[in-house]
Structures are given as C-alpha cells and as structure tokens.
Amino acid sequence: MSKITNCLIKKDTSCIPVWFMRQAGRYLPEFREIRSKNPNFIKLCLNSDLSSEITLQPLDRFDLDAAIIFSDILMVPYGLGQTVEFIKGKGPKLSKFNMKVFLENKEDNFTKKLNPVYQAITKTRKKLSREKSLISFIGAPWTLIVYMMGLRQDKKKINLENIKKDFKRDVVLEKLNKFLCLHIKNQMNAGADVVQIFDSWAGIIPDNEINDYCFTPNKKLVDYCKEINLPVVCFPKGIGVNYKKFLEIVKPHGINIDYDIDPKWAKDNLKNVCLQGGMDPKILFEDEKKINLEVDKYLDNFRNTPYIFNLGHGLLPETNPDILAKIINRVKSYK
C-alpha cells in the first residue's frame, strides 16, 4: 500500500505524502517541448505514449508520492460525443449540447473512444514504483454540465432558471453518473489506485440547489468507489463552510480544501477524513522565506492529522520548478 492510500484508507499520520494538482503540465520545460509539437490537446491526451511520458516527467524531477495521469475532465464529454477544443488564452470550447445524442451513448463506444487514456494508465503503472500511487480523476457531474451546456459565463454566480426548461436534470445526472462510474472503473482496471473527483464549479451553485447538484451526485460516485474498493478524494472547490456538510453527506476517504479555507477551521470541522491541499498556488511566486512560512503553517496545523500536502488549486504555468523541489524537500524533512 502506498503512502497516499495508507493515508486515505488507514488515516496514517506517520508521514505526510506530497503530490500536486497539475504537476504534469505547463510549468515544466520538458512538457512545453512536447506540447509545442502537439498543438491539439485532445489528441495529445489520446496519445498513450506521450500521455504516459508527461505523467512521469515530474517524478523524474521530484520525490513525489504519486503520479496523476495526464488527461482532462473534458475527456468524458468527448467520449460522449461532444467536440472539445482548447482555445489558447480562452480555455475549452465545446460543441452545442445535443440531448438526443447524449442519451443515445453506449458504454462500449465510450470505452473504445477513451481506450488510449486507459492504455496510458497501464503503461505508466508498469514504469512506476509500487510505492507510488497512480491517481486517476474525473469531473463531478455539475462541473461537467457547466462545460457541456456552456454555462461558464460568470465565475461567481449562475441562474439555473435560464436552463431548467430545456434541462432534464435527473435524466442528465443519471446518465452522466453511469458513464463517470464506467470511466472510474476503466481507470482502476488499467492500474490507477486512487481517484480524485473535481467539482471545480461547485462554488457557483446557489445554496438552495447545492444538495441536488453537488452533494447527491458526488455521494453516488463516492459510494461507487467504495463498492469497488477504490480510495477517493473529493474537491468541491469554492463551497466555503459547506465543506462541512459536504463531508457529512458524501463521506469520501479524502477531501481537498481550496485556498479560501482556513486550515485551522478545516482541522477543527472536517473530522474522520484525510485532508489534502489548501495552500494558494500563487504563494509559490513569493520569496523563499514567505513560501517556507506558508508551507510550515500547513504542516504544523495538520500535525498528527491524516494529511496529504498539496495545493488549493493546480500548479500555475509560471511556477518555478526549482521552488517546487525545495517545497517537496521541506515537506519530506518535516518532523
């Protein structure tokens, strides 16, 4: 059992494992070299050899406790028939959502379309030490809906009434859950030993809708992960004090806190769970003294608590790899 799975399942506090969201990505010059030759992001994710190589790049540099497969949460909409493009400087663009096409999707076709992702996981697992976890991931249903239906106009709020007349919520959520569970199982069968569920847009759900769009869909996925004995970490970014209610209802093995959550509040209020992350990625742009103080704040706060060191969001492209190496060393040497 890896340090990550030990922390998640057994709530081990004997060490603090460390990995980073987006650790395989744009801050690494070796990744930028590959990316410059492969401008189509979806095709890059579907190139199992390159995807595996990118996944392992940060582990060749750093003493990390996990690899996270190089892929994207939008591979699921792609597998379900939507065209997905990544526009430089603007982010992802999906073709118009078609309910008929969405509902007609078959499991075999979905698995076939995403088979290169699973091949990349298998290839990575063969090259990865058994002491290291291989993390797979999915987007939570709500976050995928935001992208699939083009709702991402306002980062702070959303008016669900505008789409409800055209949106069969329960039908869409049930269908998405079915394919997300399939994607989880396929990734586990390929060699992943942990899954992280990203609900990146949970913070814009109105309070009166959060149970239906966040808590309940995440719980169904977590329950499935428990059925197949796969450790699961949830990241309902931006929900503030609702983290507590989320944990009470969803009950994942681990929960990643975002950088708006006070770590002391998290320790006092989020019980019987492995905590992960929290630190603001922008702190890595500060001077070394300030970075060390912030790292120590999280390490000291979560001493004797099941905790995986990570961030409150993914690594930013401007991050200096040398700074990351120093942070990892500091976490590893913490007593």
Q: What is the pLDDT of residue 168?
A: 78
The H or E element that residue 182 is part of is helix 169-190
For 227, list phi and psi in degrees, rounded to 5: -60, -40
pLDDT of residue 151: 81
Active site residue 32: no
Rounded-to-integer distance, Cα 274 and Cα 12, Å: 9
Instruction: Give the separation between CA 250 and CA 133, rounded to whole angstroms.
Output: 23
Catalytic annotation, pick one of 35, 152, 169, 330: 35
- Identify whether 108 is a catalytic site residue: no
User: Is 303 tagged catalytic?
Assistant: no
Where helices occur in 114-160 by DSSP H, the ranges are 115-127, 141-148
Give the model's pLDDT for residue 273: 98
Contact 29, 60 (CB under 8 A): no
Closest CA to 27 of 51, 61, 75, 69: 61
Q: Count the residues in the chain.
A: 335
CA neighbor of 193 nearest in space, from 57, 14, 15, 19: 19
Given 72, 193, 199, 258, the catalytic residue: 72
Domains annotated for the chain, with CATH where assigned, are 3-332 (3.20.20.210)
| Annotated catalytic residue 26 | yes
Dist. CA 163–CA 206, nearest whole Å: 14
N-to-C CA span, the chain:
22
Question: Could you give the CA distance from residue 107 to residue 275 in angstroms, rounded to a whole number?
Answer: 34
35 has catalytic annotation: yes
CB within 8 Å of 253: residues ≥ 6 apart: 8, 9, 231, 232, 233, 273, 274
| Calpha distance 178→144 (Å, rounded) | 14
d(CA 176, CA 307): 31
| Given 26, 61, 169, 330, the catalytic residue | 26
pLDDT at 122: 98
pLDDT score recorded for residue 164: 63
Low pLDDT (below 70) residues in the chain: 152-166
Q: pLDDT tens for residues 272-308?
A: 999 999 999 999 999 999 999 999 999 999 999 999 9
Which entry of 27, 78, 118, 147 is annotated as an active-site residue? 147
Q: Which positions ≥6 away from 159 have C-beta within 8 Å?
A: none
Q: What Rg, from alpha-carbon coordinates, does the chain have? A: 19
Q: What's residue 169's pLDDT?
A: 80
CA atoms of 238 and 199, how far apart (whole Å): 9
Q: What is the pLDDT of residue 114?
A: 98
